[in-house]
Amino acid sequence: MRLPSASPLLKTLALVGATLAAGTPQAAPGAFKDNPIVYFLMTDRFVNGDPSNDNSYGRKREATPKDDVATFHGGDLKGVTRKLKEGWFRDLGVNAIWITAPYEQIHGWVQGANASFKHYAYHGYYALDYTVLDANMGTEADLKEMIDTAHAQGIRVIFDIVMNHPGYLDLQTAKELKVDVVYDGWEKTTLRSYHNYIDYNSFKFADWWGRAWVRAGLPGYIDGGRDDLTAQIAFLPDFRTESPDPVKLPKFLKEKPGTRAVDLPGTTVRGYLVAWLSDWVRRFGVDGFRCDTVKHVEPESWEALKAAATQALAAWKAEHPKERIDDAPFWMVGEYWGPSGRAHKMLEHGFDAMINFEFQSEEGGFAKPRKLFADYAKLESGHAPTWLNYISSHDTKLFDRDRLIEGGTALLLCPGAVQIFYGDETARPEGFMPRGDTQQATRSDMNWDSVDTKVLAHWRKLGTFRARHVAVARGAHKELSASPYVFSRVEGADRVVVALGAKGETSVPVAGAFADGDKVQDAYTGREYTVAGGAVKVQAEACVLLELIR
C-alpha cells in the first residue's frame, strides 16, 4: 500500500512495521500475564479532575437524578491520574486499569429507555471520531500523564474499544457535521418530539458514514441483517468489517475540524478501524484493549486488531524504554455475551482472556466457596488465566451492597483473573434506575464522600495479598480442612495457605505448603507465626492469609 508522506497516522503505521522488521521484544513472564487484577472504572463517573472541560460541545447536566442519569457528570483523565498519585489502585493490589473509551463520542443526546431520559455517550460506546480524544475526557497531555503515572507504578492501562458499531447520528452532531437531515427548530426538541426533527427519507444521510461503511437502514444504506455479525444492535449502525472492498474516508470525517483521520488508499472498513485503534497504542503505549460486543464482529477482525496492536506496542516500547513496564506483549480481553463455557473459541482469535459472565451468577455459593474454588482451580491452574471474573458490572448489575465482604473474599481469592468494578471496594450505592434500562443504575458516581471503610480495608488486604502471590491466580489448589475451610495454592516457589470461617484462636493445617520452623505471616492481621507440627496456631479475624516471611 502506498503511504502518502503527509499523513501523521500513516507515518506512525509505517514506523511500526520498520520496528518489527528489526525484531520484536520477546514476552517477559510478568505478574500481570499470570495474575491480572483489573480495575474497571467509568471515567466520567470516577473523579472530576478538571471542571473546565465538563460542558464540552455544549453538553449539559440535568437538575434531578432521574433526568441526569445519563448525562456527562465530569469525570476525566486528570481525575484518574489524581487517584493514581494518591495510591488508590496500588493500595488495592491492582496491576491494570480499564477505562471507558476516551476517543471522541457523539456530541449530543438521543432518547433513552422509551424517551424517559437524555442519553449521552458518557460510557464511550457511541463513537464519532476514533482518532481524537473526547474533550470531556481531557487532552492528549492528560492521557500521556495518566498512562506514564500508571506505568511508573507497574500498572497497565487498558482501553475499552468497539469495532462493531459507531454511535447514533444525534441532532446536534448532525448539524455540526453539516449532515443536512435535521429540520429547523431542532434546538427546541423534547424527549418525546426528538424524532420529529429528523428527515428519515433524506438521501443526505450519505454524508455521514455512508453505505460502504455501515448498515443503517436509512435511505441509501444497507439494512441490518438477522445474524450476530450483521444485525444492528439497539438500532446502532453496524460497521461492515467483513467487507473486502476498499473504502474512502467518510465525507463528514474529511471535513471534520481537528480530526486525525486521513484517507488510507486501498484500505477496508476493518483496516481503518484497526489503524485508528492501534494508533493509540503506538502513540501512547496503551497496554491492552477490552473489546466490546465480540460476538458481533468476525474473528478475522479481532485477529487483525491484535496483530496491529501488538506491533504498535512493541514499537512504542522500543522508543520509550524508561516509560514501559516490561517487554510483555499487548493484552486483549473480550466481552462475548452469553454463557462462558469452559474453553472459549475466541481464545484462538487474538484474545488472551474472556469476561466470565457466569461468575456473578455463582453468588449463592460465595458464602461457602469450597466447590467454587476447586472448580475454578481445575480451569486455571498452571497457565495464564483466561477467564476475567467479576461480581459487579456496568452490563449486568451491582453485587448486593450488604454482602461485599463476602463477595470480595470470593472474587479476590478465586483462581483466574479478576475485575474490580469501581465502587465495589467502597460500597458505592446504585444510582437512579430508569424503567427499561436498569444498567444505568450500575453507573453511579463514585462515592468518595461515603466510603465504607470496613469494606475498603477488607478489599485492600485481599487485593494486595493476591498481587503478591501468583499462586492465588493459577496455583495448584489443595483442600487442607473442610471446617473451617482451609486450602493451599502452590505455584513453583510461591505458596500460600488460606483459612475461611475460622474464628478466634484456631489451629490452621499447613502441611505440604509450609514446613515446620517456617516463619509465616497472616497478611490479614499482620501477625507473625512459626509452623510447628504441620500447623499454625493463629488468632483469626475475617479470614487467614498465610504467606512466608522472606
453, 471, 489 - which closes a domain: 471
Q: Give yes or no: residues 212 and 348 share one domain.
A: yes
Identify whether residues 219 and 137 lie together within a single domain: yes
Domain containing 455 — which CATH number? 3.20.20.80
Same domain, 460 and 488: no
Q: Is 207 among the residues known to form the active site? A: no
350/498 same-domain check: no
Q: SS3 for 540?
A: strand
In terms of Cα–Cα distance, which of 427, 488, 484, 487 is closest to 452?
Answer: 427
Is 335 designated active site?
yes
- Whether residue 105 is contained in a domain is answered as yes
Catalytic residue among 104, 292, 424, 522: 292
- Output the nine-digit C-alpha cell for 26: 520477546
**Same structural domain, 485 and 504:** yes
The pLDDT of residue 4 is 32
Instruction: Read off φ and ψ for residue 158, nearest 5 degrees.
Output: -120, 130
3 domain-assigned? no
pLDDT tens track for 424-455? 999 999 999 999 999 999 999 999 999 999 99
- Enumerate residues 6+ apart whose C-beta is below 8 A from 532: 516, 517
Asked, for residue 188, whether it belongs to a domain, the answer is: yes
Share of the chain above pLDDT 70, in %: 94
In a shared domain, residues 354 and 338: yes
Of 442, 471, 500, which residue sits at a domain end?
471
* pLDDT > 90: percent of the chain: 91
Q: List the CATH number of the domain containing 495.
A: 2.60.40.1180
Residue 434 has what pLDDT? 94
Exposure of 64 in the CB half-sphere (CA atoms within 13 A): 6
Q: Distances in Å between the alpha carbon of 412 and those of 92, 416, 518?
A: 11, 9, 25
Is residue 2 in some structural domain? Answer: no
If asked whether residues 401 and 505 sit together in one domain, one would say: no
Amino acid identity, position 24: T
Assigned domain for 465 exists = yes
Catalytically annotated residue among 104, 335, 491, 522: 335
Residues 232 and 152 in one domain: yes
Q: Are residues 336 and 455 in the same domain?
A: yes
* Residue 402 within any structural domain of the chain: yes
CB 90 within 8 A of CB 29: no
The per-residue pLDDT for 339 is: 63
- Band of residue 170 on the pLDDT scale cut at 50, 70, 90: very high
18: Cβ–Cβ under 8 A, 6 or more apart, which residues? none
- pTM of the predicted structure, to 2 decimals: 0.94
Which of residues 448, 471, 494 is at a domain's end? 471
Number of domains the chain contains: 2
Average pLDDT over every residue of 348-373: 91
Domain that holds residue 507: 476-548
- Is 378 among the domain residues? yes
Residue 1 lies in a domain: no
Both 534 and 425 in a single domain? no
| pLDDT tens track for 182-195 | 999 999 999 999 99
Residues 430 and 510 in one domain: no
State whether 417 and 486 are in the same domain.
no
Alpha-carbon gap, residue 160 to 206, rounded angstroms: 28
Residue 550: which residues within 8 A CB-CB, separation 6 or more?
Answer: none
